């Protein structure tokens, strides 16, 4: 049952493609569904070490999420990098 012409799912802390309430809800009600993740510069710039392992973990998790969404038929539009 499509109700909307498009939807946006903003991935913040829950970087799973399964059991994700917002993603499930969007997929039931809209096509296309655009997925986004934002690296918060306010948090990243405050880190003492730019190569912080937590950042590496998040980056790897986002990459895995992208691969999982592609495997389910998602089409990558690319990445937009903008420094705030």
Closest CA relative to residue 39, chosen from 28, 24, 50: 50
| Nearest-angstrom CA–CA distance, 33 and 30 | 6
pLDDT of residue 84: 41
Q: Which residues pair with 34 in a beta bridge?
A: 8
Beta-carbon count within 10 A of 33 CB: 19
Global pTM reads 0.80
pLDDT digits 0-9 by tens, 10-67: 999 899 999 999 999 999 999 889 999 988 888 888 888 878 898 899 989 999 999 9
Architecture of domain 7-71: 3-Layer(aba) Sandwich (3.40)
The domain limits of the chain are: 7-71
C-alpha distances in Å from residue 26, one per residue of 21, 39, 74 = 9, 22, 14
């Amino acid at each position: 049952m499509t109700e909307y012409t498009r939807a946006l799912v903003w991935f913040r802390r829950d970087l799973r493609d399964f059991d994700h309430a917002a993603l499930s809800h969007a997929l039931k009600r809209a096509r296309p569904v655009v997925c986004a993740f934002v690296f918060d510069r306010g948090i990243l710039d405050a880190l003492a070490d730019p190569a912080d392992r937590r950042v590496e973990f998040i980056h790897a998790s986002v990459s895995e999420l992208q691969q999982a969404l592609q495997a389910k038929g998602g089409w990558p539009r690319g990445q937009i990098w903008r420094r705030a």
